[in-house]
Structure 1
Amino acid sequence: MDTTLIAVIAVIIAAMVFDYTNGFHDAANAIATSVSTRALTPRRALLLAAVGNFVGAHFGAGVAKTVGDGLVTLPTGVESLGVVFAGVIGAITWNLITWYFGLPSSSSHALFGGLVGATLFAAGGVVQWMNIIEKVIIPMVVSPVVGLVLGYLVMLAILWMFRKGNPGKLGRGFRWAQTASAAAMAVGHGMQDAAKTMGIVVLALYTGGYQSDKGHIPEWVFWTSAAALALGTYAGGWRIIRTLGRKIIDLGPAEGFAAETVASAVLYFNALVLKAPISTTHTITSAIMGVGSTKRLSAVRWNVAGNILIAWVTTFPAAALISCIAYFIVRPIFG
């Protein structure tokens, strides 16, 4: 078997492993609120999230193109495949570390940090810093702020609209509504996170010389990326689900519905309009904080939120550092 083909296959396998870890790491994004409010049983919620992720992947071509073509530039050849491989390994490692400690960090920013970190030391590799700032750094700052503010405003609107309603009936109604909002969140997660893996696979195919157009996504790439994310999601990420669903605020059905609705709207807008690869984790977590703030500021457990913020800030550089180490380890293999 050709050396280049072996390298391409190695990168694709690593990308699917990342996709799987992304699924169980970020399962909480779609289902934590529904599980914590008992709108859905854990297994039903996971199944719903897996199906939604699978469907959403097929609408994420714009995000995939940004990841595959807009963040780093690498010359074709086996050495560059080693760069991509090391970047993905850095992202997988950081995912596992944050999963172990139950911190909902961003798998997306772990992947971006991994790619950038490995590319910095690659011969002929160029980091597209303006695109990084425009497509990664700015959305990393703006999307949580938007999620926080919209979460607060939407929850205020719900409280005002249903202020005279029967609490028992409203609780049951919002539990049903959460099925729809959780499904929307799952589709949005697929649009974003499966698409990032698709971008890595396309980058590997182009770098290996098996594809001349970095903007083309073969149909099998859609299906394999969607399947790996869906399987990982169904495996579940209970540590992070507990953090998002119970440790930040005590969620009720109305709060869960508001948070999921806001987060999914932000994901859809970025994926379909801006084609920006934003973090689903940042978006849903900030929406939960915004919703919780309508009760009173002390209702949000800000010490837990502080720990999450630290994980957010350190994800990009930590994954970059890990990928640098991984690159120097694998470079002789891909040389």
Structure 2
Amino acid sequence: MVVLVISVALIFDYTNGFHDAANAIATSVSTRALTPRIALIMAAIMNFIGAFLGTEVADTVGSIIAEGVEGEGNHGLTVVFAALVGAIVWNLITWYFGLPSSSSHALIGGLVGAGVASASTVEWQTVLDKVAIPMVVSPVVGFSGAFLLMLAIMWIFRHRNPQRTMRGFRLAQTVSAAAMALGHGLQDAQKTMGVMFLALLAGGYVTADDGIPLWVKVGAAAAISLGTYSGGWRIMRTLGRRIIHLDPARGFAAEATAAAVLYVMAIGLHAPVSTTHTITSSIMGAGATKRFSAVRWGVARGIVTAWIVTIPAAALVAALTYWFCAMFLP
């Protein structure tokens, strides 16, 4: 049962990779700063490296239902399994429709839904402080930060040759895209580590005070990197072209701002924020400096709707999965 749940966690990690590949590289590909294949290779490598930069986010994710599953054996493992199914199902639905929803919030919704359905202890204060508040704050900071950074870029380079300036920002986007991919690994690979640790905790192989084993880190890093390399072209089209057509300078502003938010949230606040929410709002903020009407707000409205629905939808699927599996538990 432990092997099964950890395998499912790695499958989730893989879907997270291809679902969120667009987060790091969509703007760079759409502005032709990088070719799609080179961008994917770079993102996969940086995802892998980012996974080893800390465990704070993993600890936060694991703490949401750790008390309810520790030492619970098959019952606890069923709770974790149901949470993962809820997250995977929602990832696949939003990927199919090309909606850049949050894999992170799908996972957290799954954990909460399975925890409630099983009457396990859910750390609601952690959910509020580390999930709900950052979920609102990070897109606001992403939008406003990218908007202000792009205004500063426009002012600083207002007398420069436009063609040379854009050529320079295409080069700069290689760095900002790499930083974004590193932040994605730092955030999202750790979330899977936290769930794999929960499986080991439920099975009695570790205690809550133990550190995350090295093989768990390597497995999570490898799975998300492979998923990223496989690409997520449906969502890439939405982020790269359907919201707004970005030039290299705006692409750089969006990526640099989003990466900064991810690092601060992970290292400073230990909060598992959504890379999807952060980069999407940053793209909107950078694009709005052209003019507000340049952003396709109808597409943005659909994306925001998917954001709102993600946690309850994943929670519902997880709860239904738990109730179904519970019928076969001894």
Per-residue deviation at 1:214? 4.6
Q: Is the 8 A contact 1:72 1:115 kept in 2?
A: no
Amino acid at match of 1:175: R
Per-residue deviation at 1:334? 4.5
Partner of 1:323: 318
Could you list the structure 1 runs, at least 4 aligned residues long, displaced by more than 6 angstroms after superposition.
Answer: none
Per-residue deviation at 1:78? 1.1
**What is the CA–CA distance in structure 2 between the aligned matches of 1:332 and 1:57, rounded to whole Å?**
37
User: Secondary structure, in 3 states, of the residue corresponding to 1:269?
Assistant: helix
Q: Is the 8 A contact 2:19 2:232 kept in 1?
A: yes
Instruction: Describe the superposition over 1:73-123 as per-residue Cα deviations: whole angstroms up to 9, x where unpaired.
Output: 314221011000000000000000000000000000000000110111214
Q: Is the 8 A contact 1:69 1:214 kept in 2?
A: no
Matched, 1:245 2:229: no
Partner of 1:116: 112
Q: Is the 8 A contact 1:203 1:214 kept in 2?
A: no
User: Secondary structure, in 3 states, of the residue corresponding to 1:127?
Assistant: coil
Q: Which of these residues, 179, 191, 194, is aligned with residue 184 of structure 1?
A: 179
Q: Which of these residues, 265, 268, 274, is aligned with residue 270 of structure 1?
A: 265
Partner of 2:229: 234
Amino acid at match of 1:197: T
Q: What RMSD, in angstroms, separates the aligned Cα atoms of the two structures?
A: 1.0
Q: Which of these residues, 35, 42, 47, is aligned with residue 48 of structure 1?
A: 42
Q: Is the 8 A contact 1:151 1:262 kept in 2?
A: yes
TM-score, normalised via structure 1 length:
0.96
Matched, 1:82 2:73: no
Q: Is the 8 A contact 2:51 2:187 kept in 1?
A: yes
**What is the CA–CA distance in structure 2 between the aligned matches of 1:111 and 1:232, rounded to whole Å?**
16
Q: Is the 8 A contact 2:150 2:289 kept in 1?
A: yes
Partner of 2:213: 218
Partner of 1:131: 126
1:34-113 alignment, distance < 5 Å: 34-71=28-65, 73-75=67-69, 76=71, 77-113=73-109
Amino acid at match of 1:315: T
- Aligned identity (percent) is 62
Distance 1:266 1:120, change over 3 A: same
TM-score, normalised via structure 2 length:
0.98
Per-residue deviation at 1:145? 0.3
Q: Which of these residues, 20, 23, 42, is aligned with residue 26 of structure 1?
A: 20
Q: How many residues align?
A: 328
Per-residue deviation at 1:212? 1.6
Q: Is the 8 A contact 1:255 1:291 kept in 2?
A: yes
**What is the CA–CA distance in structure 2 between the aligned matches of 1:180 and 1:249, rounded to whole Å?**
22
Segments of structure 1 that go 5 or more residues without pairing to the other structure are 1-6
Per-residue deviation at 1:59? 1.2
**What is the CA–CA distance in structure 2 between the aligned matches of 1:214 and 1:139, rounded to whole Å?**
26
Q: Is the 8 A contact 2:64 2:124 kept in 1?
A: no
